[in-house]
Amino acid sequence: MIAAPADTVCAVSAAQVSHLEYIPIMERALGQAVFEETRMPDQVLKQLIQAADRAISAEDFDALMEFYAEDATLVVKPGLQASGKAEIRRAFEAIAAHFKNQLKVQQGRMQVIEGGDTALVIMETILNTGEQDASVMRRATYVFRKSADEGWRCVVDNSYGTALLDE
């Protein structure tokens, strides 16, 4: 991963450029120019998820919507899903209000299983609700799809992971 502030000139050889891909979402979400090695989707996806977490924590829902595919689905809670960017945005606004605008999100360990233009991400998600000793750890599952023009986008966001089977 090569990352540089947007106003920094980055010297990259022609050989490096041939296998680097520019990600516009990261520039908006992180405020810096970010390049990805296409051979390392786990690092790219981790960076995208971290940017999404920062957007959730900052309640920057415009930046957050860039993380999702148009046809994405978010598991809001067991038994309740939001589909499409408009519903997902409304869900995140409601979640922020529910947690009195104190929700902070971060990730722990991660595994990526990639097949073609699809990746399954299994990750520890840590939610801090702003209340003392109120951190919750979940084993989340995310599904990403890669397109030539937009890069990786989340199509399924399930922070409950396999715990949905317990309901």
Average pLDDT over residues 41-50: 86
Given this model, what pLDDT does residue 22 score? 41
pLDDT at position 70 is 95
Quick one: which of 75, 53, 43, 79 has its CA closest to 152? 43
The CATH class of 2-166 is: alpha beta
Phi, psi of 155 (to 5 degrees): -110, -25
Residue 36 has a pLDDT of 42
Residue 101 tokens read as 């605008």
Nearest Cα to 18, choosing from 35, 43, 34, 33? 35
CA distances 8 to 29, 63, 80, 87, Å, are: 17, 22, 44, 37
- Statement: residue 99 has pLDDT above 50: yes
> With 50 as the cut, is the pLDDT of residue 12 above it?
no
The yes-or-no verdict on residue 93 having pLDDT over 90 is yes
Q: Residue 38 pLDDT > 50, yes or no? A: no
What's the whole-number average pLDDT of the chain?
A: 78
Q: What pLDDT, on the 0 to 100 scale, is given for residue 90?
A: 96
Evaluate if residue 14 carries a pLDDT over 80: no
Query: Among residues 27, 74, 72, 33, which one has the least CA distance to residue 51?
Result: 27
How high is the pLDDT of residue 133?
Answer: 65
More confident residue, 167 or 132: 167
Q: Give me the pLDDT at residue 101, please.
A: 80
Residue of 12 and 97 predicted with greater confidence: 97
Where are the domains positioned within the chain? 2-166
Residue 127 in this model has a pLDDT that exceeds 80: yes
